[in-house]
Structure 1
Amino acid sequence: MTTVLAALLITATAGGPAAAGGSGGPERVSRPGEYAGYSPVLYDEWVRTSQYLPTRDGTRLAVDLYRPAVDGKAVERPFPVVWEHQLSRASRAGDGAVDLRGVTSGMAELTKYGYTVAFVDRRGNGASFGTMTGYHSRTEASDAYDVTEWLAAQSWSDGQVGVFGCSNTGDAAMQAATVGAPHLKAVFAGNYSFHKYDAFQRGGIRANWGVGPNRTREEDLRNLPVDADADGALLRQAVEQHQANTSLRDMWRKAPYRDSQVASVGTQPWPEYSVATYKEAIERSGVPIYSYDGWDDDFRKESLVSAATLSNPHKVLVGPWLHCENQGFDIVAERHRFFDHWLKGVDNGIMREPEVHYYTGSSDGTGQWRDARQWPPKPSARPTRYYLGGGTSGTVDSVNDGTLGRSRPHGKGGGDAYPVDYSVSCPGPIDQEQTCPQDEKGLTWTTAPLKDDVELTGHPEVSLRLSSTAPDGNVFAYLSDVAPDGTVRILTDGRLRLALRGTQRAPYDVLGTPWHRGNAEDAEAMPEGRAERVDFDMLPLSSVVPAGHRLRVTVTGADVRESDRTEVNPAPVYTVHREPARASSVVLPVAR
């Protein structure tokens, strides 16, 4: 039934089916972020209902259904269904304001075009029963199978089902593709981790802002009950079950290695909860996937690795955004385009477009969208090596002049000693994904002013010859654009735990970048005073550095985002070597 709350939120303009376009029909537009004329507006109302749906083990999951409506009543004809595996499908803020995921996401808009849109609270979250064990466990994946097939079997469903999401729900959308649900026909996932270790524990270091959902009892009780739970008694029962949820912060702290076994969840969390582990199952499903991310998101490599690895039909979008943002781009229209093609068979040309649509920005605020058949784009960028201390003459005690140059250092010796400074900080609010410049807390090398604009599109790689007075520690590297007025803008960054510096062959396509397995057996202490090869990649980028600006590489031993730092007293001393036989460098993807 339609609740009073839903009735207040019905977006009604005239009631009944919407009028078609003129005799010539509406203009047809289908390109990234724009979609019109291919899918007629059929309805101008929707109704929201909520209920519990069962899973195979009897756990009840709360679902919100947004259905096309006429005169306040749901249309009974069958439509395709798209859904999100949520943490909270509907809740109240502290001030009492109602937050409906269907409204805030904009996805209820698809009901106008003949879709049913569903939002399902994952077990242990929202108004759903059960407990959350781990993060994107196989139990949750089997729930996704049950939800997909339940949605497909309803009288108001035509059996064509798609799933979407971003961040933790993007991960959940990809997990839905691992279980072979027969009626899952399309996945639209954003800002997800292909392998959780590579994303959350990048370089063997946990230095991301989030650890996953952890909610208090009071926060949980703000979730809206389902329609049949008028007094909230069922919600209160569900919330009590949530108190047994896994503490994700504690779980991750007990998993420093890719193969760590954590007793509280009875498994190795990094592989079990990672999409990459189920690559073959996803490929067997053949389900088409649309991945999107932003150049300022810490997970941005993951979508590119996913697309390069999986044989499924794939689309990739990367914009100038932070985590799950899409300013200036209509992500709902793009989802509509994708689902129309795969769930309704609309020939809107989306799959004839180049696979990758990405944005190339510049420090001056300008930029442009580009298309490529694959990532990195072809013709590929020219790998261009810049040496730390490039061109510096060397003796054993020579002092680096801070030059980042194309010429290999020459002479008999030279190295830059750096006592690790743990006092890294930012002067103001810190962006969710990016850190702030730490040039005063590390070593820097800077080019001369650029004579021409330089475009960097691809994956920078750092190759240090580094010695340390400690057996372990973290190293961070930042690539920055330095404006003529001295303003520093970080373009990308990389990091690595020194004990995990060994590289191995990856079991999936990491786009030619160094890969560190990070198993417990791979940990190897740094030999005191001996220069070791330390290779790691920075996150991908596509950015133009204008003429007159300079490129800078900064190396530190600490980052403001670290959540598991072990400080050593006295602080270790790193030496970055720059003699000809042990030159340290960075390889930049300079576009042709």
Structure 2
Amino acid sequence: MLTALLAIATATAGTPTAATASERVSRPGEYAGYAPVLYDEWVRTSQYLPTRDGTWLAVDLYRPAVDGKAVDRPFPVIWEHQLSRASRAPDGSVSLRGVTSGMAELTKYGYTLAYVDRRGNGASFGTMTGYHSRTEAADAYDVTEWLAAQSWSDGQVGVFGCSNTGDAAMQAATVGAPHLKAVFAGNYSFHKYDAFQRGGIRANWGAGPARTREEDLRNLPVDADSDGALLRRAVEEHQANTSLRDMWRAAPYRDSHVASVGTRPWREYSVATYKEAIERSGVPVYSFDGWDDDFRKESLVSAATLTNPHKVLVGPWPHCGSEGFDIVAEQHRFFDHWLKGIDNGIMQEPPVHYYTGSSHGTGQWRDAAQWPPNPRARQTRYYLGGAASGAVGSVNDGTLTRYGPPHRRGGGDAYTVDYSVSCPEPVGLAQTCPQDEKGLTYTTAPLKADVELTGHPEVSLHLSSSAPDGNVFAYLSDVAPDGTVRILTDGRLRLALRSTQRAPYDVLGTPWHRGDARDAEPMPAGRAERVDFDMLPLSSVVSAGHRLRVTITGADVRESNRTEVSPAPVYTVHREPARASSITLPVVR
């Protein structure tokens, strides 16, 4: 059926024909003409592969095929370290990760795709101890080298993933596997504490997977396990998996040691801990994220820290989203360059490709040589001023102005922490809904011209509290003339961990809170303390006629393990000449 096409493709792989050369396109999210279509079929098989300690891991292989049979020639291999490579829903429908991710399409261009269940998950044996442990990293080495050694592999191996599998992809780069040639990772945490426990405050996600036996048994067995006996044995081993929720509860500080896993999890499970090993590998990394994702700073910090060849993509997306952008095409051109040696120009482009949104929901893509895209942004300080009220059911704004610190002495806004924050729908890893009626608000006059904010806002409060500890949250919003509020970004900090230190990696000039147990210091009763923290990065144009608003609260709907004090603490945000409170915004001129 494909004999003629295959003959041409085999002779010209990596070199487009004259007919396609004039139609070549290679730019972010678009790719055509550089890689000829070789096949129009793939076949899926599954089996177990061994690791160094004898644990069997389940793998799905998607291979190019002709007339229903896998092509007997070696290709580059791209793989993902999954939690469930293939499963069956309660209604009986089957979900195949290779299909749902869209990556099986790359078989038509001469790639083999592999999806491997991490130990303690899917149909794999073993137990999951912690979250991205060094045992899993060692498994990634074994998987990479096993894939490279197969007869259908040409030894060029890439790894990809998003969210927990994006973390796993980055972990694969920490172990020095000789045949790992490229990493494409999205929405991952460079340092887990900074991402999961941002500001010392535990988020309400990252506690899974936590599946029942019944749910676990819906994972598909490998081909040779026709009666599911091996799957049932594997599922029994999974019952000893670490409870991630309990583990994180036992680790309130960056240096916490957790007895159940025998380690300091924030350190052992973080990519940042192994940055030197990643740099020694020299493996190129492509990081992507979205402006509506709680991890978005992590990819930028990773790119700024690592000396590896690096590309960064940030779009107008939620966690692991890519709507309107062909992320599979982007992965294709990245892997074509690094695994097949195709000169498609991807590494000659500016390393940062990002989207700038607007008040009206429109926007444009931009390129930059670095992040933040200096020198276009000027850090501009806006001061919190005037009287503000936190009365439930009303918004009585204070002022937000960039014309110097306040002159009146004795200014300050008292606020009783309101724990009743809520949203109509769960927010997960996305931005929360506005909580203006549950906190203190400070708002500018209507803007006289459009204002672009691209970079990292920073909050500096002089704050006193009636309690020795608590959480403070700050939100930056775009307020439309009709009163509609759109949150642009947010920041948060546990007050006892307010001291700042020098980070061991590049945090892009933002305040960094180490968060070790030794750093915990109670708030002195009635005394104003300086509290500095950054907000997550953004890139957005706020339209003329709109206003900017800063909202300060003591609770957030995304908190996990919140400690509610009774009576609720009273915070005072000071705004005097010597104790001014402010926000610094990255204003692009």
1:477 maps to 474
Is this contact kept in 2: 1:468–1:528, CA < 8 A?
yes
1:458 maps to 455
1:281 maps to 277
3-state DSSP of counterpart to 1:84: strand
3-state DSSP of counterpart to 1:583: coil
Shift of the alpha carbon at 1:211?
A: 2.1
C-alpha distance in structure 2 between counterparts of 1:157 and 1:586, whole Å = 54
Shift of the alpha carbon at 1:22?
A: 7.2
2:345 maps to 349
Is this contact kept in 2: 1:86–1:119, CA < 8 A?
yes
| Runs of 5+ unmatched residues, structure 2 | 10-15, 389-395
**Residue correspondences, number:** 574
For 2:554, the aligned partner's letter is G
2:393 maps to none
Is 1:195 aligned with 2:195? no
1:529–1:241: structure 2 CA closer, same or farther, 3 Å change rule? Answer: same
Is 1:82 aligned with 2:78? yes
2:530 maps to 533
Superposed counterparts of 1:376-455, under 5 Å: 376-389=372-385, 402-407=398-403, 408-430=405-427, 432-455=429-452
2:565 maps to 568
Shift of the alpha carbon at 1:329?
A: 0.4
Is this contact kept in 2: 1:135–1:212, CA < 8 A?
no
Stretch moving more, 207-216 or 313-322:
207-216
3-state DSSP of counterpart to 1:276: helix
C-alpha distance in structure 2 between counterparts of 1:330 and 1:196, whole Å = 28
For 2:508, the aligned partner's letter is L
Q: 2:6 aligns with which of 10, 17, 33?
A: 17
Is this contact kept in 2: 1:391–1:409, CA < 8 A?
no
Is this contact kept in 2: 1:463–1:584, CA < 8 A?
yes
Shift of the alpha carbon at 1:216?
A: 1.4
Q: 2:88 aligns with which of 77, 88, 92?
A: 92
Is 1:303 aligned with 2:299? yes
1:397 maps to none
Shift of the alpha carbon at 1:139?
A: 0.1
C-alpha distance in structure 1 between counterparts of 2:444 and 2:50, whole Å = 61
Is this contact kept in 1: 2:169–2:184, CA < 8 A?
yes
C-alpha distance in structure 2 between counterparts of 1:438 and 1:64, whole Å = 46
Q: Deviations over 1:252-271 (max 9, x none)?
A: 00000000000000000000
Is this contact kept in 2: 1:435–1:561, CA < 8 A?
yes
Shift of the alpha carbon at 1:219?
A: 1.1
For 1:499, the aligned partner's letter is A
Superposed counterparts of 1:331-346, under 5 Å: 331-346=327-342
Is 1:493 aligned with 2:490? yes
Q: 1:162 aligns with which of 158, 164, 167?
A: 158
Q: 1:58 aligns with which of 43, 54, 61?
A: 54
Is 1:551 aligned with 2:548? yes
Shift of the alpha carbon at 1:380?
A: 3.6
1:510–1:24: structure 2 CA closer, same or farther, 3 Å change rule? Answer: same
C-alpha distance in structure 2 between counterparts of 1:269 and 1:209, whole Å = 16
1:345–1:499: structure 2 CA closer, same or farther, 3 Å change rule? Answer: same
Shift of the alpha carbon at 1:273?
A: 0.1
1:9 maps to none
3-state DSSP of counterpart to 2:6: coil
For 1:332, the aligned partner's letter is V
1:584 maps to 581
Is this contact kept in 2: 1:16–1:70, CA < 8 A?
no
Is this contact kept in 2: 1:309–1:508, CA < 8 A?
yes
Q: Deviations over 1:39-92 (max 9, x none)?
A: 111111100000000000000000000000111111111000000000000000
Q: 1:44 aligns with which of 14, 22, 40?
A: 40
C-alpha distance in structure 2 between counterparts of 1:331 and 1:181, whole Å = 26
1:157–1:580: structure 2 CA closer, same or farther, 3 Å change rule? Answer: same
TM-score computed with the length of structure 1 as normaliser: 0.95
Please provide the CA RMSD for this pair: 1.6
Shift of the alpha carbon at 1:19?
A: 7.0
3-state DSSP of counterpart to 1:422: coil
2:256 maps to 260
Stretch moving more, 555-564 or 208-217:
208-217
Following TM superposition, where does structure 1 have runs of at least 4 consecutive aligned residues deviating by more than 6 angstroms?
Answer: 12-16, 18-22
Q: 2:503 aligns with which of 502, 506, 521?
A: 506
TM-score computed with the length of structure 2 as normaliser: 0.95
Q: 1:242 aligns with which of 238, 245, 256?
A: 238
C-alpha distance in structure 1 between counterparts of 2:421 and 2:387, whole Å = 30
Is this contact kept in 2: 1:15–1:44, CA < 8 A?
no
Q: Deviations over 1:451-470 (max 9, x none)?
A: 00000000000000000010
Shift of the alpha carbon at 1:412?
A: 1.8
Shift of the alpha carbon at 1:406?
A: 1.0
1:143 maps to 139
3-state DSSP of counterpart to 1:111: helix
Is 1:211 aligned with 2:200? no
C-alpha distance in structure 1 between counterparts of 2:126 and 2:425, whole Å = 40
For 2:348, the aligned partner's letter is R
Shift of the alpha carbon at 1:426?
A: 1.4
1:468 maps to 465
For 1:322, the aligned partner's letter is P
| Runs of 5+ unmatched residues, structure 1 | 1-11, 393-399
Quote the sequence identity (%): 87
C-alpha distance in structure 1 between counterparts of 2:233 and 2:170, whole Å = 30
